[in-house]
């Protein structure tokens, strides 16, 4: 093998991983961080943004829910271990010790009075402190671990009388360095899987409440002599 061929092969060996990393950074990572969200939702300020003004990590994910804010909010209010769960991949959450039981399929009135200063219980951790609550509109969790700070901001944005956009924004600050960068790169795909499952799980449950309400309204109309 001559020197030219050796250099060409070496160049290919370098170029392929470089191209893969560049493609991940340019196309895959932006998609992971804004699954389901519109340009407007990504750019729009949300409660809690001010807690991490210069994030090393940020994502905005969203989903359309055919339900009213009051049919979505109860599932957020009762999140947590020993409460309503997280509505994500229960099998994995339970295997990791995050939850002790499957996520709830019904609203529990005793877990609806969520207030700033409360803590959302999460197995194996001190929990997720509640920073701000605006009932049926927004919920902000402020999570500190060592030098890292992460916020979760949930927003409910009505589209019309029967449809709501559910938006979840995560912002994180951590000490600069290769370790933080590598950790983010490692957890991003798993985080999207869990967050996507959570948004879908909340949507399914909220739309179940909405269907029950609409069915009940139709039954009342029939009972009153309507068509």
pLDDT digits (tens, 9 = 90+) for 112-129: 999 999 999 999 999 999
pTM greater than 0.85: no
Q: Is the confidence at residue 30, as pLDDT, over 80?
A: no
Domain ranges of the chain: 1-33, 36-223
Compute φ and ψ for 102, nearest 5 degrees: -60, 155
Q: List, in sequence order, every beta strand (DSSP E) within 123-211.
A: 128-134, 138-145, 148-160, 163-173
Does residue 3 carry a pLDDT above 90? no
Closest by CA to 121, choosing from 75, 84, 94, is 84
Q: In CATH, what number does 36-223 get?
A: 3.30.530.20
Nearest CA to 200 out of 82, 80, 103 is that of 103
Neighbours of 219 (CB within 10 A): 10
Please tell me the predicted confidence (pLDDT) of residue 221.
54
Question: What does the pLDDT look like over 72-102, one tens digit per residue?
Answer: 999 999 999 999 999 999 999 999 999 999 9
Which pLDDT belongs to residue 171? 93
Position 25 pLDDT exceeds 80: no
């Amino acid at each position: 093998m001559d020197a030219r061929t050796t250099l060409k092969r070496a160049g290919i060996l370098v170029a392929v991983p470089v191209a893969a990393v560049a493609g991940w950074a340019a196309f895959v990572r932006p998609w992971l961080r804004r699954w389901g969200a519109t340009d407007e939702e990504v750019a729009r300020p949300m409660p809690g943004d001010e807690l991490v003004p210069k994030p090393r990590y940020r994502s905005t994910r969203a989903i359309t829910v055919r339900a009213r804010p009051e049919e979505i909010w109860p599932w957020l209010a009762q999140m947590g271990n020993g409460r309503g769960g997280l509505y994500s991949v229960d099998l994995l959450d339970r295997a990791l010790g995050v939850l002790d039981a499957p996520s709830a399929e019904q609203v529990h009135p005793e877990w609806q009075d969520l207030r700033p200063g409360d803590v959302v219980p999460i197995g194996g951790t001190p929990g997720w402190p509640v920073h701000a609550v605006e009932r049926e509109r927004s919920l902000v969790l402020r999570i500190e671990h060592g030098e890292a700070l992460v916020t979760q901001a949930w927003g409910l944005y009505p589209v019309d009388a029967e449809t709501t956009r559910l938006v979840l924004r995560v912002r994180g600050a951590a000490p600069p360095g290769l370790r933080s960068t590598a950790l983010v790169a490692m957890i991003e795909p798993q985080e999207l899987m869990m967050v996507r499952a959570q948004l879908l799980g909340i949507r399914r449950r909220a739309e179940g409440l909405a269907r029950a309400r609409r069915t009940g309204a139709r039954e009342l109309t029939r009972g009153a002599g309507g068509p």
